[in-house]
A = this chain, B = another copy of it.
Amino acid sequence: MQLTRREAFSAAGIAAGVCILSSCAPAERKSTQSETGRDMVPWPYHELDPETTAERAYHYHYDGHCMYGVFKGIVWQLAERYGEPYRSFPCSMMTYGAGGVASWGSLCGALNGAAAVIALFASAREQQVSLTSQVFLWYEQAELPVYVPVRPRLDMPMPGSVARSVLCHPSVALWSKASGYPVAGKEHMERCARLTADTARRTVIVLNERVSGQAPRSMIADPQVGRCNACHGRDGEQKDVLGRMACGSCHTSLSDRHPDTLATAPNSL
């Protein structure tokens, strides 16, 4: 007998060991339901092994790049163990995030994949923001990549760098500067494969902590973000800016003492 997707989802939902993330946060609002009730998120999340996830994501990167690597590295383990609904997800669509989406250099594809997979398992906005921000803050501040593949495609000493941004363009540029390797070469591809592994591992750690009820690791945003948002953010006097990205990555002329020094941002905003 083959199950319809809806039946499969229901069966998965009552399987032993399942924790639907939203059930771990009873105060949150229910997920948005489509007109037919089929558009059901969150999907059940089952704890995964971070190291296994990292190695899978690393190899998937070589099939479909960064966003695909993180997303499939997580979802496909659940597909292999539990079948539907995971198995029918068209993971290959996630190739679109490569190079900061279509090589535009915007959001790092590994982070786009992390945010997408988190949204599959956590539908409430507050929970999405909390879990996603844990991964984003880690990425901004960590020296990456760290992961050493069990079966490396390119066996090399891998220099690390701190992105100070969630965007692909500065992340890659700073790694190129730190390592001396050119962009778009085989070393760059290996760097992004290992970064994909690191990001998938971190995403699973964050999801596992949530399922097991552990308090999230304390992640502190760049202090400049708070100082800028105190005036410019939604609760500030000026209310002319939204964002949580590290300001100094683009606004490099901002003094550490801004606004005391009245230094202005370099761009014309």
Contact = CB atoms under 8 A, between A and B. Distances in A.
A244 B158 CA distance: 26
B234 A184 contact: yes
B176 A245 contact: no
Most buried by B among A94, A97, A116: A116
B93 A119 contact: yes
Given A167-B106, A253-B266, A239 B88 contact: no
A244 B94 CA distance: 19
Interface size, A (range): 35 or more
A99 interface: yes
Contacts of A43: 90
Contact of A106 (B31, B40, B241, B245): B245
Interface in A193-249: 233-234, 239-245, 249
A102 B132 contact: yes
A152 interface: no
A242 B119 contact: no
Interface in A105-159: 105-107, 111-112, 115-116, 118-120, 123, 125, 128-129, 132-133, 136
Contact of A103 (B63, B103, B177, B242): B242
B240 A183 contact: yes
Interface in A170-200: 170, 172-174, 176-177, 182-185
Contact of A243 (B2, B89, B116, B168): B168
A267 interface: yes
